Amino acid sequence: MIDSVFDWRWMLFVLLGAAAVGDIRSYRIPNIIPVGVIIALVVALVASSAPAEDYAAASASGLIGLGVGYAFFRFGLMGGGDGKLFAAAAAWFNAGALLSVGFFVSLAGIAVALAALAARSLRPATPTTAGGGAMKSLLKTRIPYGVAIAAGVAIATSSPPLI
């Protein structure tokens, strides 16, 4: 995480929590949340009198996160709101920590996906999901990936970088 904003990370956690709750409820992350994450970052940088290097690091990491988020969206691996949220959250980290963030978000994504699949498999079978259609139905399970982003970023914030 960018050192000058470390004491302000609670704002990031509040906004990521709101994104996770919204994603669980409706499988949508409103645009206002990633925008809020960026505004909170700017407020934290200004309030902590961060040096110009921190602004540059935040911009670079945000652009890297945007590229990764867009690629995942483009290939259908996550929704557009998830990609924007990941890009906004990535801006809170320096480029060297992004590998750790991606790793922990991926691990959290596996856990969230398994939980969603388990919850889906506990539902009673319908005529369309009986027999061979059950596997197809499981594979089309929607995953609230905003939860994984929130959890992965929280873990990455509290752990030392992997490299």
Q: What are phi and psi of 137, to 5 degrees?
A: -65, -40
- Under-70 pLDDT residues of the chain: 124-140, 160-163
45 domain residue, yes or no: yes
Long-range contacts made by residues 42-46, C-beta under 8 angstroms, separation at least 24?
A: 43/8, 43/11, 44/4, 44/5, 44/8, 44/11, 45/2, 45/4, 45/5
Using an 8 Å Cβ cutoff, are 100 and 123 in contact? no
Assess if residue 163 is contained within a domain.
no
Count of beta carbons in the 10 Å neighbourhood of residue 95:
15
Q: Is residue 121 part of a domain?
A: yes
DSSP 3-state percent helix, strand, coil across the chain (nearest 5): 75, 0, 25
- pLDDT at residue 3, as a whole number: 87
| 74 within some domain | yes
Residue 126 lies in a domain: yes
pLDDT (0 to 100) of residue 150: 97
CB-based burial of residue 127 (10 Å sphere; 0-12 exposed, 13-18 middle, 19+ buried)?
exposed
> What's the angle, vertex CA 50, arms to CA 20 and CA 48, rounded to 5?
70
**Assigned domain for 136 exists:** yes
Determine the structural domain holding residue 98 and report its residue range. 3-158
Kindly list the distances between the CA atom of residue 133 and the CA atoms of 74, 75, 127, in Å, as whole numbers in the listed order: 27, 24, 9
Residue 77's pLDDT is: 86
- The closest of 103, 106, 109 to 163, measured between CA atoms, is 103
Domains: count for the chain = 1
The pLDDT score that the predictor gives to residue 46 is 96
Instruction: Give the separation between CA 78 and CA 56, rounded to whole angstroms.
Output: 27
